[in-house]
């Protein structure tokens, strides 16, 4: 008995130890990694190849030693769902930088094997660009200080390019530029990080005289705006595709993507109109409606005047003088330049002309009357160009003009000796001498 017991005990112990001695821990190999360079975007292919004597209970993926994803069904991928379906790994949700990636495989006996590798994630974020100017209108020569606002989430070096609209360019971030000829210039500011470009645009109105209204009428071609503004990635673009327009063309709220603005935020245009007096003018817009919603807003001196000017007749040019079933009566606050603006509300609408009349019974037909001229208004008071009773540099220009001199009305510096836009004795002497008087 004693000898039998001695023989049995070692055999039992050896038998109980056999599983742990013969079963190896799982082996793991990370595959699908790029040979060189960073991982970016929606990346597919990082799979942990696991070899094991026992079934695998789970595979855990760690990024910088923090659990990132757990998979219980093969293929064991960092981007698969829990049912084993291989999905792209969205690396854009992670910050750019270096990471330590580990895959740890656990078998049903509680043993684990792992593999690890260093990776780099880099997703380029396009730069952000916007631009501004210290002035966006004025007489020529008009010197403008432009400011470029730019940022980049990846802190990459940025390159700048300005196109001033008159053929000149600059690679400075904050350039100074002078316009020597009258015109409305579209200025584009571009920012490049070597992988992507962002841009912004503004409009500069140099040496353009206002539209002259009479006591009865003012007519503006929509494409001859004084300023324009982008909004929501859209703009009022010049077009000629719809026949029946007046003058050179019309403007259309584009692109036509079915976008509607319930408040501010759409693109805009401005028309600078010099009124001889204040009072009520009735507005008419000649537009071309398309299928679906077609409407715009009207602004007066930067404030909303009419929220919804809609076109019921579609597929043809039509004059509309009402907004939300009411006449568009605009109360001009006083004599001088007032700004009528169009603001985008529903894209796709085309506008050909704007008409303001003091006659509540007037209804335009066809393309309407001729467009009003642009000029500097001559005051009925000698020398007082602004009807203000105060003498300024513009008044001196009018005085000289009335003396029969050929004056560039857009140049307000010829008589401003001190360059301070105020009138003093030296300016008056200079004006007198240049009129040929001594």
pLDDT at 22: 60
| 24-42 average pLDDT score | 92
Q: Alpha-carbon distance 197 to 69, whole Å?
A: 35
What would the mean pLDDT of 347-376 be, rounded to a whole number?
94
pLDDT for position 16:
44
Cβ of 10: how many Cβ atoms within 10 Å?
9
What is the rounded average pLDDT of the residues 172-182? 92
Q: Which range (138-142, 157-161, 267-271) has the least confidence?
A: 138-142
Quick one: pLDDT band at residue 26, thresholds 50, 70, 90?
very high
Neighbour tally for 93: CB within 10 Å: 8
Mean local confidence (pLDDT), 69-77: 90
- Answer whether 201's CB lies under 8 Å from 189's CB: yes
What's the rounded Cα separation, in Å, for the pair 351 and 332?
22
pLDDT digits (tens, 9 = 90+) for 252-285: 999 988 888 877 778 999 998 989 889 999 999 9
pLDDT computed for residue 79 by the predictor = 86
Task: With a cut of 70, say whether residue 377 has pLDDT above it.
Answer: no
Domains of the chain are 2-121 (2.60.40.10), 128-206 (2.60.40.10), 211-357 (2.60.120.260), 378-438 (no CATH)
Provide mean pLDDT across the span 398-416: 47
pLDDT at 425: 61
**Average pLDDT of 79-84?**
72
Which of 178-182, 249-253, 286-290 bottoms out in mean pLDDT, i.e. has the lowest? 178-182
Predicted pLDDT of residue 430: 62
For residue 304, name the pLDDT band (cuts at 50, 70, 90). very high
- Please tell me which residue, 334 or 351, carries the higher pLDDT value: 351
List, in sequence order, every residue forming a beta bridge with 353; answer none if it has no partner.
Answer: 221, 286
CA distances from 422 to 382, 395, 419 (A): 19, 11, 8
- Report the chain's mean pLDDT, rounded to a whole number: 83
In this prediction, residues 148-163 reach a mean pLDDT of 92
327 close to 360: Cβ distance less than 8 angstroms: yes
**What is the bridge-based pairing of β-strands 279-288 and 317-320?**
antiparallel
Range of weakest confidence among 77-81, 359-363, 385-389, 391-395: 385-389
Mention every residue, 6+ apart, whose C-beta is less than 8 A from residue 70.
Answer: 58, 59, 60, 61, 82
Question: What pLDDT is stored for residue 162 in this prediction?
Answer: 98
pTM of the model: 0.50
Residue 130: CB atoms within 10 A of its CB come to 16
Backbone torsions φ then ψ of 15, nearest 5 degrees: -65, -40
To the nearest 10 degrees (0 to 180), the angle between helices 425-434 and 393-402 is 20
Span 185-202, pLDDT tens digits:
889 999 999 889 999 998
Residues with Cβ within 8 Å of 191's Cβ and at least 6 positions away in sequence, in order, are 127, 128, 129, 148, 150, 152, 158, 159, 160, 197, 198, 199
In terms of phi and psi (left: phi > 0; alpha: psi -120 to 50; beta: otherwise), the region of 17 is alpha
Residue 336 near residue 387, CB atoms below 8 Å: yes
Q: Categorize the per-residue pLDDT at 154 as very low, low, confident or very high, splitting at 50, 70 and 90.
A: confident
pLDDT above 50 for 15: no
pLDDT at residue 9 tops 70:
no
Q: What is the pLDDT of residue 407?
A: 42
Mean pLDDT, to the nearest integer, of 366-377? 87
Percent of the chain with pLDDT over 90: 52
Calculate mean pLDDT across residues 242-251.
96
**pLDDT of 181 over the 80 cut:** yes
Token code pair at residue 340: 């009528």
Q: Is the pLDDT of residue 133 over 70?
A: yes
Measured distance CA(365)–CA(168) in Å, rounded = 43
Residue 312: both structure tokens together: 């019921």
Is 182 exposed, middle or buried, given 0-12, 13-18 or 19+ CB atoms closer than 10 A?
Answer: middle
* Whole-angstrom distance, CA of residue 221 vs CA of residue 271: 9
Q: Are 347 and 290 in contact (CB under 8 A)?
A: no
Query: Is 162:148 a contact under the CB 8 Å cutoff?
Result: yes
Comparing CA positions, the residue from 332, 322, 238, 256 lying closest to residue 294 is 256
Q: What is the mean pLDDT of residues 349-370?
A: 97
| C-alpha 57, offset from chain centre | 52
Report the relative pairing of strands 211-212 and 268-275 from DSSP bridges. parallel
Burial group, residue 373, by CB count within 10 angstroms (0-12, 13-18, 19+)? exposed
- Who has greater pLDDT, 42 or 203? 42
Q: So what's the pLDDT on residue 416?
A: 57
pLDDT tens column, 88-105 = 899 988 888 999 999 999
């Amino acid at each position: 008995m004693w000898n039998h017991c001695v023989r049995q005990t070692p055999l039992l112990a050896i038998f109980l130890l056999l599983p742990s001695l013969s079963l190896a821990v799982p082996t793991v190999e990370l595959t699908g990694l790029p040979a060189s360079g960073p991982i970016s975007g929606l990346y597919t292919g990082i799979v942990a190849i696991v070899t094991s004597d026992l079934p695998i209970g789970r595979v855990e993926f760690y990024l910088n030693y923090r659990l990132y994803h757990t998979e219980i069904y093969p293929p064991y991928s960092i981007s698969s769902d829990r049912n084993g379906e291989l999905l792209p790994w969205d690396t854009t949700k992670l910050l750019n930088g270096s990471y330590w990636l580990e895959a740890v495989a656990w078998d049903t006996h509680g043993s684990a094997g792992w593999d690890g590798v260093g990776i780099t994630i880099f997703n380029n974020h396009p730069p952000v660009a916007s631009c501004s100017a210290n002035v966006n209108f004025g007489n020529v020569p008009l010197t403008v200080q432009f400011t470029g606002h730019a940022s980049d989430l990846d802190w990459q070096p940025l390159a700048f390019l300005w196109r001033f609209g008159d053929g000149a360019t600059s690679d400075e971030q904050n350039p100074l530029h002078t316009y020597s000829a009258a015109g409305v210039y579209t200025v584009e500011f571009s920012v490049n990080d070597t992988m992507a470009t962002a841009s912004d645009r503004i409009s500069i109105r140099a040496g353009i005289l206002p539209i002259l209204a009479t006591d009865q009428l003012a007519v503006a071609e929509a494409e001859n705006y004084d300023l324009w503004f982008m909004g929501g990635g859209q703009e009022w673009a010049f077009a000629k595709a719809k026949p029946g327009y007046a003058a050179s063309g019309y403007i259309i709220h584009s692109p036509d993507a079915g976008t509607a603005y319930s408040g501010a935020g759409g693109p805009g245009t401005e028309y600078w109109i010099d009124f001889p007096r204040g009072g009520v003018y009735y507005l008419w817009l000649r537009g071309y409606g398309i299928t679906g919603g077609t409407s715009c807003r009207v602004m007066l001196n930067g404030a909303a005047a009419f929220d919804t000017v809609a076109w019921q007749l579609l597929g043809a040019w039509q004059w509309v003088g009402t907004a939300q079933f009411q006449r568009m009566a605009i109360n001009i606050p006083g004599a001088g330049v007032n700004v009528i603006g169009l603001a985008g509300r529903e894209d796709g609408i085309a506008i050909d002309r704007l008409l303001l009349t003091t006659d509540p019974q007037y209804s335009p037909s066809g393309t309407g009357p001729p467009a009003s001229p642009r000029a500097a208004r001559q005051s009925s008071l000698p020398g007082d160009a602004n009807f203000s009773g105060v003498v300024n540099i513009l008044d001196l220009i009018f005085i000289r003009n009335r003396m029969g001199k050929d004056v560039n009305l857009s140049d307000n510096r010829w008589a401003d000796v001190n360059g301070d836009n105020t009138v003093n004795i030296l300016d008056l002497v200079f004006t007198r001498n240049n009129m040929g008087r001594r």
